[in-house]
Structure formats: C-alpha cells, structure tokens
Structure 1
C-alpha cells in the first residue's frame, strides 16, 4: 500500500511527510520538519500529487460539469423601517393549555373564567404601560371565547378592536388598539 518516497499525511494530526521505510503494518516517515516518526498503516493517508489526479480527471470533463451551471443571483436585502410603535406587540395566548399546568377537572365555565381573567389582567397591564396594541390569540373553536372577549372589549371607551392579521394569526386572534389620551 505505501512505498518508499510516497507523500503521506497523518490522520488526526497536522503532520505531513515522506515514507522512508515500510515494515509490516508500521511505516517510518520523515516529516516535513525533518523528524523520523513511526505510524501504523491505518493512521496514514497517501497524498496524491496533482499530476496523478489529472490523469484520472480530464479537464474537458470538469468543464462540462460546470457548463450548465449558472452563478446564483445576489439577493438584495431591503431593511424595513419600523416606527417605534411597531417595535413591540403584546401577544396573549388564551388557550387554556398555555394558562394552567393541568386543565383536568376544570369545567368549561371555570376554563372560560380563567381565560377572561387573564384577558382582563393583560388588557389592564397594556393600558398601564401605554402599549399601542395587544393581540389576543383565542383560537377558532365554537366562538364562545371570542364572543366573550368582544363583549369585554366593547365595555372600554378608549380602545378599538378587530380581527388580527390573517396571514400571521389565522382566524383565531383579535387585535386591540389603544387610543392614547392627548391632553
């Protein structure tokens, strides 16, 4: 496998050299730094010089491989400018699995009460912190939670609400905007 004069490199080490002698499965190499070291056959890889490789691969074959390829088009990145208002949107997921560790044993009435209390608490938090908008994710379901949420939001004078962005949330979300007092 290895012969005297072969150029080799050592696996898992940054050592290159030339084979000096081969005895069984041990190979003595002279490193490029001038040291003689012994390695097992399975620790070495023979380095083929470029002349040997060119005899295996003709230049014509490699140029044919690249002929049909096109250079990828450069992508242009346009950074969208966002206003300060759009930087943070509070998203409140009202699915019961997100609100309690275990919903077993809870009646539908109790689940709805937990969801509505969470919605009220988050709505008050958003108003106190002067957030421009909140998105309540309620899901599609039978529409009971959405109806209750609409009833709750309708009791506030300083907010408007509508269905949230369909592309981002689907049908199961309501977007709430706060009218900030300008006194």
Structure 2
C-alpha cells in the first residue's frame, strides 16, 4: 500500500514526510523538516497528490448523480398484515371527554369510577356476546386509569390482556382477549 517516494502523514502527530525506506512493517520517512524517522505501517496514512484528486473528481459523472437525486426512492414501511376474514376488534375510548359531554363538577374519583364502570360494561357485553377481542384506549397520562383497568381485568378468569399494538396506539391502549368456554 505505501511504497518508496509516497507522501505520508503520521496519524497521532503533526508530522508529514516522504517515504525513504520500507522494511516489513516499519517505514522510514524523511520529514518536511529533514529528520529521518521510523514508524509502523498502521501509524501512517498516505496523502493523495492534489493532481490525483482532480483526476478522481473528473471521473465523476455529474449527470448520473443528478439523475439519482431526481428519482424518488420508494418509502420503506411495514404494513400490518390482516387475514381476509379477520374482523377488526372493537375499540372503546375511555377518555372522559368521550364519555360525557361536560366533566365540570366531577371529581377525579367520579371520573375514574365512570371510566372503570364503562370498561366493565364493555367487558361484560363482550363476554356475553362471545366477542373474542376488544381494545380499550386509556391514554398514557399518569397511569392511574391503566392501573385501574389492569386491576379490573385481573379479576376475570377467562380474560388475557396486554399492551395493544404500539404502531397503531402507542403506549395508551390495552388489548383484551376473551377465552370462550365451549359449554
């Protein structure tokens, strides 16, 4: 890679010079100040001649570069695959703004009670009507509603729940699977 007569620069020091001798992995250079110094190959880097740089630049086809910039690259995203017969799960938004027209006069306890009662009603309905999966949108917030929802869902034997699809809902939803008993 580096041969006699090449212009080199020392990597960790501000020293430049011309290669005088190459012996195995040791290279002797004459610095610009006229000193003879020996370095290992991995301590040096070859400096390109500016005329060589101009010839490299001249080989670049500007038309091709411009054409590459014009062609829009296809967007890369993963589309959620669904079975043709799969019916999307019903979503229930438990945000208080979606449940009542005006929350004025309601305490935090009243709001949480209404939200958990609404969730319980939807769970009972899904169990009764053999709906296999539902999604509760609770938002992120401080996690009080999510904790209440987890407590409520944990009281059912035939229910399994987990965080819903992050790409679709972020962290603010819980997916509920209802195991159907064949009685």
TM-score bucket of the superposed structures, by smaller chain: 0.5 to 0.7
Q: State the distance in 2 between where 1:166 and 1:81 align.
A: 16
TM-score using structure 1 length: 0.55
Specify the alignment match of 1:169 in structure 2.
Answer: 169
Q: Aligned pair in 2 of structure 1 residues 83, 176: CA closer, same or farther (>3 Å)?
A: farther
Gaps of 5+ in 1: 1-67, 73-77
TM-score using structure 2 length: 0.55
Superimposed CA distance per residue, residues 2-36 of structure 1 (whole angstroms, 9 cap, x where no aligned partner): xxxxxxxxxxxxxxxxxxxxxxxxxxxxxxxxxxx
Q: State the distance in 2 between where 1:112 and 1:135 align.
A: 18
The CA deviation at 1:81 is 5.5
Q: State the distance in 1 between where 2:90 and 2:82 align.
A: 20
Superimposed CA distance per residue, residues 63-94 of structure 1 (whole angstroms, 9 cap, x where no aligned partner): xxxxx8x999xxxxx9x66154x313110000
Q: Aligned pair in 2 of structure 1 residues 81, 119: CA closer, same or farther (>3 Å)?
A: closer
Specify the alignment match of 2:141 in structure 1.
Answer: 141
Q: State the distance in 2 between where 1:182 and 1:83 align.
A: 25
Specify the alignment match of 2:112 in structure 1.
Answer: 112
The CA deviation at 1:126 is 1.1
Q: Secondary structure at the match of 2:92?
A: strand
Specify the alignment match of 2:83 in structure 1.
Answer: 82
Q: Secondary structure at the match of 1:176?
A: strand
Q: Secondary structure at the match of 2:119?
A: helix
Q: State the distance in 1 between where 2:111 and 2:162 align.
A: 24
Q: Secondary structure at the match of 1:131?
A: coil
Q: State the distance in 2 between where 1:139 and 1:127 align.
A: 24
The alignment covers a number of residue pairs equal to 115
Specify the alignment match of 1:99 in structure 2.
Answer: 99
Specify the alignment match of 1:182 in structure 2.
Answer: 182
Superimposed CA distance per residue, residues 109-156 of structure 1 (whole angstroms, 9 cap, x where no aligned partner): 000011011000111111111111010000111111000100000000
The answer to whether 1:121 aligns with 2:121 is yes
Gaps of 5+ in 2: 1-66, 73-78
Q: Aligned pair in 2 of structure 1 residues 147, 71: CA closer, same or farther (>3 Å)?
A: closer
